[in-house]
Amino acid sequence: MIYQVYPRSFRDLDGDGVGDLPGIVDKLGYIADLGVDAIWISPFFKSPMADFGYDIADYRAVDPLFGDIGDFDRLLAKAHALGLKVMIDQVLSHTSNEHEWFKRSRESRDNEYSDWYVWADAREDGTAPNNWMSLFGGVAWRWEPRRQQYYLHNFLSAQPDLNFHNPAVRAAVLDNVRFWLERGVDGLRLDAINFCFHDAQLRDNPPKPAEQRVGRGFSPDNPYAFQYHHYNNTQPENLAFLGELRALLDRYPGAVALGEISSEDSLATMDEYTRAGRLHMGYSFELLTDDYNVEHIRGTVQRVEASMREGWPCWAISNHDVQRVVTRWGRGDAPKHFATLVSALACSLRGSVCVYQGEELGLPEAQVPFEDLQDPYGKTFWPTFKGRDGCRTPLPWDASDGAGFSHGHPWLPIPAEHRALNVAAQQDDPASPLNGFRQFVGWRKRHRALLDGAIAFLPSAEPVIAFVRGEGADAVLMAFNLGPGTATLELGERAGWIADHGHGLPSGAVEGGRLRLPGHGAYAARPAG
């Protein structure tokens, strides 16, 4: 189980209103007490912060906003002392336009770095080389007058794409990864890893019918959704690069790589990217959508099970890019244990799981006024899409003015409903989402089948999803009621299994071979004898 730390919003010790590495160090004990195995730290590298750290200007330097390299070393040492592995974000497909590589590359067409980024001539009429669109809106090309050429940016124009067709680029990228592995990190979360290569012929992406214009984190009015993205990402050449990356990781025993994958067929790409000799784990965005129903969740897991012949999945129901799950799936009227229910469901699937900071507290999506918005994505598409700030507001540690996050002015406002859900208040409440999360995670660890057992779904109808993990005497039956009212499930031959109520959620009872589950409740059982 991996706990995602978003440094800007975790804990601020120096009072500038932005979280920092010393703040993470200060609260590592809290993370360890959750029972998780590892932390994933979102970018803390030197950056102009156009995309809040996902635009890196120096891969080997800590941005002064977060501290210095000594702070990171102390974080690593304390985490290891607490039994926590440390994964760091690596943003390999693009850099900041303030990176020295890009500054050199844009100077001319004939210097050492001239081919390190994706450059292309204009069409005869001066327009962009092809029809590729940026995920953040508008065309994916920016004119550079110094070279009299366009450069590619799949994200912000301040995030130029590296040219991975150039072997010197791949070597330099791997050397930066090696720097952190040598420092002792245990793993990498690879941002947008399928975006490293582009189609060398720069072919136009084909149009997508209006009814299919859906996707990760953007609404159908974003022109990015108007295309099938066959050529600006997920190119076959990337597979060889993943092999090079894996060969590097294999020199550091225990080091793992988790790839973020968003493609036209993300589950097929996950299968390709996690085969032997490539990434250890992959995750996509199928459970980061609004689809909270048995058909979608069960169907997604079954497709993963059918398609990933060699790899290991990783599940996420929240992260720093999507609306918080309590709001997205709870739809505003769920009980407080709903947060524990959905976390328990994700943690019961086969695979690893990423838990985003605040999930354990049951934080809903924050409503951030336009005048307080920081996310460039939200500013561009307001009001139809309000961006990602609502899931990035600072973590509330107590009920004080700064919510225990900072004694300065927080970089994003902390809403009153979050202050009411602060860590200190939940610590002493046995029925709080925080203690429910801790109880479930501790219970899960006592059942080996929930860690590495196979998964087999049982016949069920909305709103109950049920499956068995593992086989034989160690098998565990899990059933979850995704709805607010009482629901039933026919257990058949498993009606005689022994119930285990230690998971901490409202549980059900079996009568005459039928399980009755309370609203948003869960049931667990093991074979008799």
What CATH number is given to the structural domain containing 482? 2.60.40.1180
Res 310: pLDDT: 85
Counting every residue, how long is the chain? 529
18: burial class by Cβ within 10 Å (0-12, 13-18, 19+)?
Answer: buried
Q: Is residue 157 part of a domain?
A: no
DSSP structural state of residue 16? S
Res 215: pLDDT: 57
Res 363: pLDDT: 97
What are the residue numbers of the active site? Answer: 191, 260
Contact 389, 414 (CB under 8 A): no
Contact 90, 42 (CB under 8 A): no
- Cα–Cα dist 29/302, whole Å: 36
Res 384: pLDDT: 84
Q: How many CB atoms lie within 10 A of CB 424?
A: 13
14: burial class by Cβ within 10 Å (0-12, 13-18, 19+)?
Answer: middle
Statement: residue 217 has pLDDT above 80: no
Res 333: pLDDT: 81
- Cα–Cα dist 397/228, whole Å: 43
362 and 478 in one domain?
Answer: no
The average pLDDT across 34-53 equals 98
Statement: residue 175 has pLDDT above 70: yes
How sure is the predictor about 529, in pLDDT bands with cuts at 50, 70 and 90? confident
Q: Is residue 475 part of a domain?
A: yes
How sure is the predictor about 212, in pLDDT bands with cuts at 50, 70 and 90? confident
CATH of the domain at 219: 3.20.20.80
- Cα–Cα dist 144/43, whole Å: 27
Statement: residue 224 has pLDDT above 60: yes
What is the overall mean pLDDT for the chain? 96
pTM of the model: 0.96
| 444 or 216, which is more confident | 444
470 and 336 in one domain?
Answer: no
Q: Is residue 447 part of a domain?
A: no
The average pLDDT across 321-336 equals 92
Q: Is residue 476 part of a domain?
A: yes
Cis before 463? omega within 30: yes
Provide the domain limits for residue 511.
454-526
Q: How many CB atoms lie within 10 A of CB 416?
A: 8
Of 408, 441, 474, which closes a domain? 441
466 and 418 in one domain?
Answer: no
Res 309: pLDDT: 78
Res 218: pLDDT: 52
Sign, CA torsion 38/283/191/327: negative
As beta bridge partners, residue 465 has: 480
Comparing CA positions, the residue from 513, 517, 480, 520 lying closest to residue 497 is: 513
How sure is the predictor about 329, in pLDDT bands with cuts at 50, 70 and 90? very high
Segments in 193-236 forming alpha helices (H): none
Res 334: pLDDT: 87
Contact 417, 391 (CB under 8 A): no
